[in-house]
Amino acid sequence: MRSHAKRLPSRPVILLLQICVLIGFFGLWHVLTVSTNLLSPFFFGTPGAVLERTFKDFASGVIWYHLGITLLETALAFVIGTVAGIAFGFWFARAPLVSVVFDPYIKAVNALPRVVLAPIFALWLGLGIWSKVALGVTLVFFIVFFNVYQGVKEVSPVVLANARMLGANSRHLFRHVYLPSALSWVFSSLHTAVGFAMVGAVVGEYLGSAAGLGYRIHQAEGVFDTVGVFSGMLVLTIFVVAIDAAVTMIEKRLLHWRPQEAQTTQT
Amino acid sequence: MPQAMPDAAMTAPALSLPALSLEGVTCSFPSPDGRGQAYTAVRDASFTVADGEFVSIVGPTGSGKSTLLNVAAGLLRPSAGRALSFGAPVTGINPKAGYMFQAEALMPWKSALENVAAGLEFRGVAKREALDRARPWLARVGLDGFGDRHPHQLSGGMRKRVALAQTLIVDPKIVLMDEPFSALDIQTRQMMENELLDLWASDRKSVVFITHDLEEAIAMSDRVLVLSAGPGARLIGEYRIDLDRPRDVAEIRMTPRFLQLHQEIWGQLRDEVLKGYAQTKLR
CA-nearest of A211, A244, A245, A226 to A49 is A226
Give the tens place of pLDDT for each residue, A246-261.
888 888 887 777 766 4
Write down the pLDDT at residue B6. Answer: 43
Q: What's the pLDDT at B130?
A: 94
Q: Residue B10: what pLDDT?
A: 45
In this predicted structure, the answer to whether residue A110 has a pLDDT above a threshold of 60 is yes
Per DSSP bridges, beta strands B206-211 and B174-178 are parallel
Question: Would an 8 Å CB–CB cutoff place A262 in contact with chain B?
Answer: no
Span A134-148, average pLDDT = 92
Report chain B residues whose CB lies below 8 A from the CB of A156.
Answer: 103-105
The domain total for chain A is: 2
Residues A119 and A226 in one domain: yes
On whether both A122 and A160 belong to a single domain, the answer is: yes
Distance, in Å, from the CA atom of A136 to the CA atom of A77, rounded to the nearest integer, reads 5
pLDDT score of B3: 44
Q: Which of B92, B91, B10, B87 is nearest to B55 (CA)?
A: B10
Query: Which pLDDT value is given to residue A4?
Result: 55
* A35 and A47 part of one domain: no
pLDDT of residue B166: 94
Total-model pTM = 0.77
For residue A256, the chain B residues in CB contact (below 8 A) are 150
A180 → closest Cβ in B98, B109, B170:
B109
Question: Stretch A226-238: mean pLDDT, rounded?
Answer: 90
Do A96 and A47 lie in a common domain? yes
Chain A partners of B119 at a C-beta cutoff of 8 Å? 166-167
pLDDT of amino acid B7: 44
Q: Select the residue of B104, B107, B170 nearest A177 (Cβ to Cβ).
A: B107
Q: Do A6 and A63 fall into the same domain?
A: no
CA angle B198, B202, B204 (to 5 degrees): 100
Q: Are residues A35 and A61 in the same domain?
A: no
Picking from B59, B96, B74, the residue whose alpha carbon sits closest to that of residue B207 is B96
Q: Find how far residue A164's CA is from the centre of its chain.
A: 37
Return the axis-axis angle of helices A226-254 and A62-94, rounded to nearest 10°: 40
| Same-domain check for residues A21 and A128 | no
In this complex, is the C-beta atom of B119 within 8 Å of any C-beta atom belonging to chain A?
Answer: yes
**What's the confidence (pLDDT) of residue B99?**
94
CATH of residue A58's domain is 1.10.3720.10
Q: Does B110 sit within 8 Å of A166, measured CB to CB?
A: no
**Residue A22's pLDDT is what?**
92
How far apart CA A121 and CA A136 sit, in angstroms, is: 11
Residues B139, B162: Cα–Cα separation, whole Å: 10
The reply to whether B24 falls in a domain is no
Characterize A97-108 residue by residue with b for buried, 16 or more Cβ atoms within 10 angstroms of its Cβ, and e for exposed: eeeeeeeeebee
| Residue B168 CB burial class (10 angstroms; 0-12, 13-18, ≥19) | buried
B103 in contact with A at a CB cutoff of 8 Å?
Answer: yes
User: What are A204-219's pLDDT values in tens digits?
Assistant: 998 888 888 899 999 9
Q: Do B103 and A158 touch (CB under 8 A)?
A: yes
A117 and A21 in a common domain: no
User: Can you say how many angstroms the Cα of residue A38 is from the centroid of all Cα atoms in its chain?
Assistant: 36
The interface residues of chain B toward chain A in range 81-100, judged by CB-CB distance below 8 A, are 93, 95, 97-99
Which of A156, A164, A180 lies closest to B93 in CB terms? A164
Q: How far is CA A240 from CA A137, A213, A244, in A?
A: 18, 12, 6
Tell me the one-letter amino acid at A136. Answer: G
* Residue A121, domain member (yes or no): yes
* Number of domains, chain B: 1
A65 lies in which domain range? 43-254
pLDDT (0 to 100) of residue B9: 42
Name the residue range of residue B122's domain.
103-171
Mean pLDDT of A105-121: 87
- The answer to whether the CB atoms of B121 and A259 lie below 8 A apart is no
Is A155 a domain residue?
yes
CA-based nearest residue in chain B for residue A175: B122
| Nearest CA distance, B18 vs chain A (angstrom) | 20
Q: Does residue B189 form part of some domain?
A: no
Test A180 with B99 for CB contact under 8 angstroms: no
Cis peptide leading into residue B231 (ω within 30°): yes
Element (H, E) at B39: strand B39-49
Query: Chain A partners of B75 at a C-beta cutoff of 8 Å?
Result: 161, 164-165
- B141 in a structural domain: yes
Cβ distance A177 to B75 less than 8 Å, yes or no, reads: no
Largest separation between any pair of C-alpha atoms in chain A: 76
Determine, yes or no, domain membership for B279.
no
Convert the pLDDT of each residue in A32-76 to its tens digit: 988 888 888 888 888 889 999 999 988 898 889 999 999 999 999
Same domain, A194 and A74: yes
Do the domain assignments include residue A265? no
With a cut of 70, which residues of chain B have pLDDT below it? 1-15, 32-36, 282-283
Instruction: Check whether residue A218 and residue A235 sit in a common domain.
Output: yes
- Residue A66 belongs to a domain: yes
